[in-house]
Structure 1
Amino acid sequence: MNNILIVDDTPQNLHLLVDLLTKYDYKVRPVPNGKLALSAAEINPPDLILLDVMMPDLNGYEVCKQLKTNPKTKDIPIIFISAGNEAVDKVKAFAIGGADYISKPFQIHEVLMRIKNQLVVKSLQKQLKAKNEQLRKTIIQLKESQKQEFESQQNLALAKITSGISQQINTPVAEINHTLDEIRQFGKATLQNIPFFLAQMSPQQQKYFTTLLKQAQDNQINPLLSDLARQELKNLIVAKLAKFKIKETAKIADVLIEMGFNEEIEDFLPLFASENYWEILDNASLIINLDKNVNNINDSTLKISKLISAFEDYAYHSYSKTPKRLANLENILEKALSSIAYVPPGVQIIKRYSPVSTINCYPKALQKAYFHLLQNAIEAIGTHGILTINLYQKQNHLMVDLIDTGASISQDLLDKLCDPFFTTKSAEGKAGLGLAIAKQIIEQHDGSIAVQLLSGKMTLPGNTKFTISLPM
């Protein structure tokens, strides 16, 4: 339950806001002046502050300045409430650290939406801060491990890894920051209009508005439409609108496509024929855009999480403090295979295990290496295909062949497969560290990984062959 501190010297306003926010499951603390507000925020920092500007002794601007200089309260979002509606008042409020500004007399829906908007932004900023701190600790861990174990050649690899991490992390972080800016602009520029246009709508228009929002949220948003596909869809929508003699067809079509609609818009044709249809469509689009922005942040945060997880994995396997021991390589392979979360039903796995000697190794590390290699092969195959696993002894080495029928890759990409951050699945949020981790572990065992594109003349089906060699 979010904790909100309300500061207003007018008892009627305090009672109104307390009753309203309590009804919507907010925990509310009302105080009648600025000095009590500073004390209350210091003792128990709230999630958000609603702050009246004009108060005796200590006005809202001064309260805000003091809150922003206190490390304990500086990150609390503050929404000013004031009877002043001049631009200079709003500029001053934002200049000293205010998050938003509501003019009196305020509308109930406006207050609720602005509060929700600021709480969403604060929550997302908190998540981003936590992820960045986790990443910072992981980088420190990696640097410490490299300092203890890596020689000059491995230190060179660390520089490459750190550079790769920086490049990989910058994209989702930039996306998050950009989206947060859009959310803030949305709250300041548009939310104040929503209560007014809601009151102007007829019951039928309100029904259209609600349905428009619901269907847009359920739509499969497709931002990857090609220019040609987008133009074809736009032409279909424009033709359908023109058939009903609706104006500004191209403009409406652009907004509907951005909201994820296809040409099935019959339910909304009466809406577009009404007088204030554009205001209704525009506000619906803005709300959907906020929802999309939040999803963008969630996606970017997930990418950071995956990257941190892969980076931690890489750091963990850069050295081992446990001694080697004798282990059965067949058992290690089976454990690695069983730890893969999902193997499509259409993927057939053929095992050809020859009796081999035990190997002196780090069993858990080798299991992790084979896990990444097996998972890569299964992902390359897709929903249908064959993975062949050969285990055999060749002179004084234990050999494992992984042959998959997945799509072939070009020869120029073959040598990059085990490079840190190289991936052919970037669109799926893959960090590109799995094969790099596998290679690192195998090389720690003085082994090697070779990749070969098959010609199709072999007795076993397959397009790509990984051969892992470990000395006995």
Structure 2
Amino acid sequence: MDINFSEYKVLIVDDCRINYLIMKVILERESLEVSLASSAQEAMVFLESNRVDLILMDVLMPEMDGFEFTKWLKSNEKYKDLPILFITALNSPEDVIKGFDLGGSDYITKPFNREELLRRVKHQIRLSHFHNTIVKQNEDLQTIIDNRDRLHAILAHDMRTPISSLKMIFSILSLKNEGDVLDGDFIRMLYAGSDIVEQLFSLLDNLLKRIKSQMGSMSLLPQIFDFDVVVESAVEVSRPAAKLKDICVQVDFQDEIDVFFDIDVMKSIVRNLLINAIKFSNSNSTIQITVGKEDNQLVFEVQDEGIGMTEDVQARLRKRMYGNSVQGTLKEDGVGLGLWIVQYFIDSHKGSFYFRSEEGKGSLFGFKMPIIHDKKST
């Protein structure tokens, strides 16, 4: 890559004017812009109002020597990435090592060779150029990512409203049919439609939570609530999907437990685990939900009798490699967001997420989380 050296500015910090003039002539012949500071204090003043791309630093200077000035520069956020090339008569291994330890980029001993000086200066400028290019590209990329995430968040948020309305419509239709007044085909279509809407809502909700968590704009509102109610709500919401496969969802409340958590996030965690179990369950099977307490921790488990997971899939889950979703027993698709959401929020609240699975026999997913309040202990 060709670099226009005339765009780069070099500051020579040296109390010997003869050394400065020699280096100035050598560097200006290569079109570099060169300035002089005869002391560290003068260099500080110069840096306040001038851009510098490289400092050529003498070590033996009065008041503040080059090593001390380098230490000051590297402790300053504004100058910490500024490359420093020491040019000094100090040539012992200890001095060279000290210069590098303080943050120096390179080291030349006096008397210096013209060609060596040019090669080392140009090398540092090239490194600085590449560094600045990478920083700029990263900033541009981050801007693109931030804009993309904002767009996704807006889309997910705006789409949740009509999907929520559809959910309500299907719920009302399902309730109206409690007396089995509709024929079988219509009922199957009703449950299928309800299941599709629930999947869309869950996908949008998971997408919105993931984007907000990555953008740092996720506001949690923890409160004390009855965990049993959250589980019962998730079972009710998932009822159409379970009916499509004639799945029986059984719940064993071994303890009545109140927890301190964001209730919407907890609903999302429980719903995702239950939907995941339904997705991979065979028809005419059973899903067992267990709610209990162990060592003052909430224990929640969902066990299915479905297709289970291969060793490869289990290994990817342990490494948190989500995204390569496996189709469900009715060819249901997914993008792997559900388990990511579950594990992210459980981890962020000092809980533990776990699973066991055997291919062809089913899976168990569960989590443990600290309890703030237990009804039976009061």
Q: TM-score range by the shorter chain?
A: 0.3 to 0.5
Q: Which has the higher helix share?
A: 1
Give me the TM-score of the superposition, normalised by structure 2. Answer: 0.41
Give me the TM-score of the superposition, normalised by structure 1. Answer: 0.33
Q: Which has the higher strand share?
A: 2
Structure 1 or 2, whichever has the larger Rg, is 2
